[in-house]
Amino acid sequence: MHCPFCDHGDTQVIDTRASDDGDTIRRRRRCPNCDKRFTTYERIELTMPAVVKKNGSRAEFDRRKLRASLQLALRKRPVGLEQVDAATHRIEDKLLGLGLREVPSERIGELVMRELKRLDKIAYVRFASVYRSFEDVDEFTDAIQEVKPRRGR
């Protein structure tokens, strides 16, 4: 680590402490060249994959867009914001877990549909109708059959 005062290329760590939440490490450092002290912070940096759209263009992953899509499908449905936030977090975790630098928008759409299926069947059918561009009633019927409980024989 370079000294911010004299730009010396090697500094010594005097003290290391983890933050209360455990997400950050604070290090006190001393420069052997100018004898000044300073603090650095070390934290995990996770980068979400870029989104590859159907037309081939790329965009940064936007958590707000993901959350807005879920909320739009769940509009006027009995699902709390905590559940929406949890679903958003699960989707982000899955995307990070893929370890990819880019992910097709279709993959994100499928993850959204999986979460909506768990949260609210009506919201699932709403989202599916737009996402899959339903053209006729039969496609609605197929989506409803996907979420309809099976009767035991």
Same domain? For 34 and 89 the reply is: no
153 lies in some domain: no
Residue 26 domain boundaries: 12-43
In the DSSP assignment, the letter for residue 56 is S
Higher pLDDT, 6 or 125: 6
101 lies in some domain: yes
pLDDT digits (tens, 9 = 90+) for 14-61: 999 987 777 789 999 999 999 999 999 888 777 899 999 989 999 999
Same domain? For 30 and 81 the reply is: no
pLDDT digits (tens, 9 = 90+) for 98-146: 889 999 999 999 999 999 989 988 888 888 777 666 666 666 667 667 7
120 lies in some domain: yes
* Model pLDDT, residue 131: 66
2 lies in some domain: no
What's the domain count of the chain? 2
Same domain? For 102 and 38 the reply is: no
Q: Tell me, what amino acid is at 8? A: H
Partner residues linked to 16 by β-bridges: 27
* 64, 69, 72, 75: CA torsion to nearest 10: -90
Q: Tell me, what amino acid is at 110? A: E
* Model pLDDT, residue 3: 94
Same domain? For 91 and 121 the reply is: yes
The tokens describing 66, both together, are 């993901």
Same domain? For 66 and 96 the reply is: yes
* Residue 119 burial class via C-beta count within 10 angstroms: exposed 0-12, middle 13-18, buried 19 and up: buried
Same domain? For 123 and 98 the reply is: yes
* Model pLDDT, residue 124: 83
pLDDT at 153 over 50: no
Same domain? For 55 and 31 the reply is: no
Same domain? For 18 and 59 the reply is: no
